[in-house]
Chains A and B, each alone.
Chain A
Amino acid sequence: MTSELARKRMTASAPRPDLGPLARRAALALGPVLAALVLGGLVLLVLGVNPIAYYVFVVERGLLSPTGIQATLTRMAPLLLIAASLIVAFRAGIWNLGGDGQFLLGAVVVAAAAPLLIQHLPSWAVLVVCMALGALVGAVWSVLPALLKAYQGVNEIITTLMMTFLGVSFANVLVKLAFRDPGTTVPQTRTLEVADRLPRLFETTISSGLVIGIVAILAVHVMMTRTAFGLKLRIVGANTRAAVHAGLSVPRLTVAVFAISASLAGLAGAVEILGVQGNVRADWNPAYSLTVVPLVFLARFNGPATIAFVFLFSVLSIGGESAARRMGVPNFFTLVIVGILLILLGLAEYLDQRRRAGGP
């Protein structure tokens, strides 16, 4: 019975040759994006904003203007690192939704440490040490979910989310109480001078964090697709029982996944501070991680494709920030687009499976 059914299902999933795989994948990815923009446009219409004017403005400010494109490329750095963090986790079947906590704490600790270290170390050494520190802090913030998942089987969605909520408050406590800059009235950490931050690329304002992000995401991509370690993680993610059967230590690999994933999120925090912010103000929480989740899904956990989607999203959000100031449409609109996009993405996948199954 089992094999009979399985065979039917298999025959069912044999692809039809009508669309090339690349064209199909492109359609699957771009279809939902366009549809989400249209639906988002409807929301704008309801709010009395001209959607075409809005989108034109966003593209102009996020992509076409020189300052806009530079801001967009700079924004990509932390997003790419977070995307790399998510790719490792999701490919290994671990739902690390705690990226925001890992990111924020990495950022806060780095923001506190960098201005102190700069008094003792050369600038390049501070950058290196701080990036390592950010990664470490991120990893530490995932130890509890990792151990609970690996050895107790506690659902990591719950624990990582809890750690994020805890981390966001904890970061605030740190900024306001422990690391507060006594020289300012607003609660924030000491500031790393612009000269000591990550160097800018060529003659632009683009932070070299972009390079770190791209390298990270490509490295993760190669690791997951070309190495024995990556394959082991993928086996664990695809079929835990097969992993046990093949003699892989699932708990140890699970902990490793959390460590890598959370360090990348922590590194993202470090890069954001060292490259862009220079300090952390109280209640600062860009909440990048949850918004990068759909992008990674959209790219089907593929590194290069993720870079493209992160770029698109950065254009939207940099342009959207400008639009918030000029057109009075708050940034929350980007969240709406992301939510719609996720649902449409799921729908597209569903329809694609139906189509390939030759169903009604």
Chain B
Amino acid sequence: MSALFTEAFLTALILGAVTAGIPLMLAGLGEQISEKAGVLNIGIEGMMLIGAYTGFLVAYFTGSIWLGFFSGSLGGMAVASLMALFCVRLGLSQIVIGIALTLGAEGLTALLHHFQFSQSYPRLEAVESLAIPGLSALPVIGPALFDRPPIIYLAIAAVAVTAWVFRSTNLGLALQAAGDKPAALDAAGVDVIAVRTGAVLTTGLLAGLGGAFMAEVGAGIFVPFMTNGAGFIGIVLAMLARGRPLWVLLGALLFGACLSATTALQVAGVDIPTDVIQMLPFAAVLAILVVFGRRASLPPALGSHYVRGAR
């Protein structure tokens, strides 16, 4: 067993955990913002997929990784704007629309990819990394954490920004009020619909970026259905983190480690079928729900449409 914990294995594991964990983290962070404001965003899987597709496409044709991230975010927001329109403004069922957006995005990206590339899967160039002087020279964590594509540092910064917004701004108070007691927010003179719309669009932005990250940094290619439930894991992360962005990051890295364990184990010379490894994160989620299920808290007004004057 001790042979497992070689430097190569640990580096591969942490490296993989970050690469696989960042999209989960972005999805979970986005979902957390929506949920805080009272919108259960089941469509996040669709937002990620569209983000992955547009991100890949733009990066492929322009050669610019950053333009790819940008358009991935925009793609996610485009899907989110549908969610905002139908669920926040018109008050349609968040579950039905969420499923619809996910199914539609799955179908659409697969269809478009087929018409564009038929059965081939062109590969993007590897993303350049940015070594942080000093830290990148550390053993194991140096190459795994501090010699990585700059988007990773940005994504982690998003956690800090979100935490700051939640804790130290009026916007954070408004978000919490929108999910906890929207009528009180409305009576305080803040537009609940606007707050929720903003939250959902931000979710789309983050989820789209997460999808683009998956395609551009994680895989280097776009494959239909490539998000494979990452959005749903994001939902669970948000539920379990109970409004704390840092917990989303930690949870995402944990899941990322599960997802990337195959590669790391292959590095260590252990061969486990991919399917078994793919079960790990979901089994972990369920195990966590079994243990902490009762404490996975959700805002009181989650999932319910706000209509001024109705009680």
A and B from one assembly?
yes
A interface residues, Cβ below 8 angstroms from B: 1-2, 5, 9, 43, 47-48, 95, 97, 144, 148, 152-155, 157-159, 161-163, 165-166, 169-170, 172-173, 176-177, 290-291, 293-294, 297, 329-330, 332-343, 345-347, 349-350
- Considering the complex, give the chain B residue whose CB is closest to the CB of A49: B115
State which of B3-11, B93-101, B199-207 sits at the interface with chain A. B93-101
**B85-122, CB under 8 A of A: which get 1 and which 0?**
01000111101110111111111101110110000000
Shortest CB distance A133–B (Å): 22
State which of B67-75, B145-153, B243-251, B275-283 sits at the interface with chain A. B275-283
Q: Which of A2, A165, A330, A349 contacts B92 (CB 8 A)?
A: A349
Shortest CB distance A233–B (Å): 19
Q: Is the CB of B96 within 8 A of A297?
A: yes
State which of B129-137, B154-162, B164-172, B285-293 sits at the interface with chain A. B285-293
Q: Is the CB of A342 within 8 A of B275?
A: no
- A154 partner residues in chain B, CB cutoff 8 A: 289, 293-294, 296
- B235 partner residues in chain A, CB cutoff 8 A: 158
Q: Is the CB of B96 within 8 A of A158?
A: no
Shortest CB distance A187–B (Å): 11
CA of A160 to CA of B282, assembled, Å: 11
Q: Which of B107, B228, B293, B310 contacts A5 (CB 8 A)?
A: B310
29 intermolecular pairs with C-beta atoms under 8 Å apart: A5-B311, A148-B293, A152-B293, A154-B293, A155-B296, A155-B298, A158-B235, A165-B228, A165-B282, A169-B276, A173-B276, A176-B273, A177-B273, A294-B99, A330-B114, A332-B111, A333-B111, A336-B108, A338-B100, A339-B103, A339-B108, A342-B96, A342-B97, A342-B100, A343-B82, A345-B96, A346-B93, A346-B97, A349-B92
- B293 partner residues in chain A, CB cutoff 8 A: 148, 152-154
Q: Is the CB of B91 within 8 A of A148?
A: no
| Cβ-based interface call for B229 (8 A) | yes
Which 4 pairs across A and B sit closest by C-beta, in order of nearness? A339-B104, A335-B107, A342-B100, A336-B107
Tell me the interface secondary structure of chain A in the complex. helix
- Considering the complex, give the chain B residue whose CB is closest to the CB of A343: B100
Q: Which of B90, B101, B285, B311 contacts A1 (CB 8 A)?
A: B311
Q: Is the CB of B107 within 8 A of A350?
A: no
| Cβ-based interface call for B232 (8 A) | yes
Known: A169-B275, A350-B90. A339 touches B101 (CB 8 A): yes
Shortest CB distance A15–B (Å): 20
CA of A97 to CA of B42, assembled, Å: 12
- Considering the complex, give the chain A residue whose CB is closest to the CB of B116: A47
Shortest CB distance B279–A (Å): 4
Shortest CB distance A99–B (Å): 12
Q: 10 new A-B pairs (CB below 8 Å) besides A336-B111, A341-B100?
A: A148-B293, A155-B298, A162-B232, A163-B286, A291-B103, A338-B103, A338-B104, A346-B93, A349-B92, A350-B92
Q: Which of A2, A293, A335, A350 contacts B311 (CB 8 A)?
A: A2
Shortest CB distance B283–A (Å): 6
CA of A288 to CA of B82, assembled, Å: 25
Known: A157-B42, A346-B86. A290 touches B99 (CB 8 A): yes
- Considering the complex, give the chain A residue whose CB is closest to the CB of B310: A5
